[in-house]
Amino acid sequence: MRRSLGVLAALLGLAGTASAQTAVRLKPYVGAFAPMLPVVAVDDGQHPDVEMQSAPAVGMELEAVARGWLRLYAGLTYTAPRLTLGGVMQTSPVNGATTGTTLLIPAAGVILAPRVGSLAVRPTLRLGAGAKRYHFDLVEQRHAVTDFTGDVGIGLAGADEGPVSFAAEARWLPSRFSAANLPIPATGQLRQDQNDWLFQLSFRFRP
């Protein structure tokens, strides 16, 4: 949690500096990263799955308005979930042990935000893609692991008239993870689906 707050403070400092130099809107956000499927589903009938726990998340996006209802975005999310190690992993013989993980998620794409009548908020639809870059605190895994991810989300955004507006969003980050990236023997399908969600509240600044 302390690392997440430190990264958020750095991102807010960047927003203050960059907003004076560019016309692109800056959107720092806070939220929660919530994995819905195991990192590795173990099919040996003896050991529990290798799972990633939910964790706080922070991030920053740059957003450009191409049209009134069309926005382009590029951003980076940081989170540090714990990884629950099943007894099948060669690094830990005890089920339930955990280790730290650093996860960076750069992504880019478009956000559709049509105006609906006289409502003060707009529904949003995010369509993008990016990467998940994992770094595990394991002696056996010293290099980072990078996987492609989709970035699809829905939410509500406040009006853009003032210098600051707010948005709430739920983002689906589907990807695949290979069991070969961890010190674990093959126990079924090598590459497995990941069904991760990011729930975020963002603050959009207009320079």
Tell me: the pLDDT tens digits for 99-143?
A: 889 999 999 999 999 988 888 899 999 999 999 999 988 766 667
Where in the sequence is the domain holding 45, given as residue range(s)? 2-205
Q: What is the pTM of this model?
A: 0.81
Query: Cα–Cα distance between 143 and 138 in angstroms, integer?
Result: 10
DSSP-derived letter for residue 79 is: E
Domain at 119, CATH number: 2.40.160.20
Query: Cα–Cα distance between 202 and 155 in angstroms, integer?
Result: 11
Among 7-11, 56-60, 68-72, 183-187, name the one with the lowest average pLDDT.
7-11
Tokens in use for 14? 């960047």
Q: Write the secondary structure of 36-63 as one string of H (helix), E (strand) and C (coil).
A: CCCCECCCCCCCCCEEECCEEEEEEEEE
Residue 17 has pLDDT above 70, yes or no: no
Tell me the per-residue pLDDT of 38-92, one tens digit each, with 9 for 90 and over. 888 777 666 667 889 999 999 999 999 888 789 999 999 999 999 887 656 655 4
Q: Which among 145, 132, 82, 128 has a CA at the least distance from the CA of 106?
A: 132
Q: What is the domain count for the chain?
A: 1
Q: Which among 70, 137, 73, 138 has a CA at the least distance from the CA of 106?
A: 73
